[in-house]
Amino acid sequence: MKPLRTPTALVAAGLAPPERLAALEQVAARYAVSLTPDVVDLIHSDDPVDPIARQFVPDPRELEARPEERADPIGDDAHSPVEGIVHRYPDRVLLKLVHICPVYCRFCFRRESVGPGHRRSLSRAALVRALDYIRARPEIWEVILTGGDPLVLSPRRLREVVRALVCIEHVKIVRVHTRVPVVAPARITAELIRAIKMPRNASTKATYVVLHANHPRELSVRARAACARIIDAGIPMLSQSVLSRGVNDDPDTLAALMRTLVENRIKPYYLHHGDLAPGTGHLRTTIPQGQALVRALHGRLSGLCQPTYVLDIPGGHGKSPIGPSYLERVPSAEQEARFEIEDFNGVSHIYPPVRQDDS
Ligand code: SF4
* Atom 8 of ligand 1: nearest residue by CA position: 108
How far, in Å, are 152, 194, 195 from residue 156 at the CA level?
A: 11, 10, 7
- In the predicted model, residues of the chain with pLDDT beneath 50 are none
For residue 101 and ligand 1, the question of a CB distance below 6 A is answered with: yes
C-alpha radius of gyration, the chain, whole number: 22
Predicted local distance difference test score (pLDDT) of residue 120: 81
Chain mean position to CA 264: 17
* Burial group, residue 246, by CB count within 10 angstroms (0-12, 13-18, 19+): middle
For residues 83 and 130, is the Cβ–Cβ distance under 8 A? yes
Cut 0.85: pTM above it: yes
Instruction: Determine the pLDDT at residue 357.
Output: 56
46 included as an active-site residue: no
267: annotated active-site residue: no
d(C-alpha 127, C-alpha 253), whole Å: 40
Return the number of other C-beta atoms located less than 10 Å from residue 155's C-beta: 17
Question: What is the CA(107)–ligand 1 centre distance, in A?
Answer: 8
Specify whether 305 is catalytic.
no
Cα–Cα distance, 355 to 219 (Å, whole number):
50
Residue type, 204: T
Residue 348 pairs in a beta bridge with: 342
The order of strands in the sheet holding 308-312 is 85-89, 92-96, 142-146, 173-178, 206-212, 237-242, 266-272, 308-312, 319-321
Q: Give the count of beta carbons closer than 10 Å to the beta carbon of residue 9.
A: 17
Torsion sign across C-alpha atoms 81, 84, 88, 93: negative
pLDDT of 202 reads: 60
**Cα–Cα distance measured from residue 180 to residue 227, given in angstroms and rounded to the nearest whole number:** 10
Nearest to 298 by CA among 336, 271, 275: 271
How many C-beta neighbours within 10 Å does residue 189 have?
A: 12
* Cβ within 8 Å of residue 225, ≥6 positions away: 185
What ligand 1 atom has the least distance to the C-alpha of 101?
4
pLDDT reported for residue 227 = 98
* Distance from C-alpha of 126 to C-alpha of 111, rounded to nearest angstrom: 22
The active-site residue, picked from 275, 284, 305, 309, is 275
CB of 148 shorter than 6 A to ligand 1: yes
- Find the Cα–Cα–Cα–Cα dihedral 82, 86, 88, 93, rounded to 10°: -110
Asked if 319 is an active-site residue, the reply is yes
Any atom of ligand 1 within 6 Å of the Cβ of 161? no
**Catalytic site residue 275?**
yes
Indicate if the alpha-carbon torsion angle 183, 186, 192, 197 is positive or negative: positive
b/e map 303-340, b = 16+ CB within 10 Å: eebbbebbbbeeebeebeebebeeeeeeeeeeeeeeee
Q: What is the DSSP letter of 73?
A: T
Phi–psi pair at 310, nearest 5 degrees: -130, 155
User: Measured at the alpha carbon of residue 152, what is the angle toward residues 148 and 158, in degrees to the nearest 5?
Assistant: 100
Quote the CA–CA distance of 359 and 349 in Å, as a whole number. Answer: 7
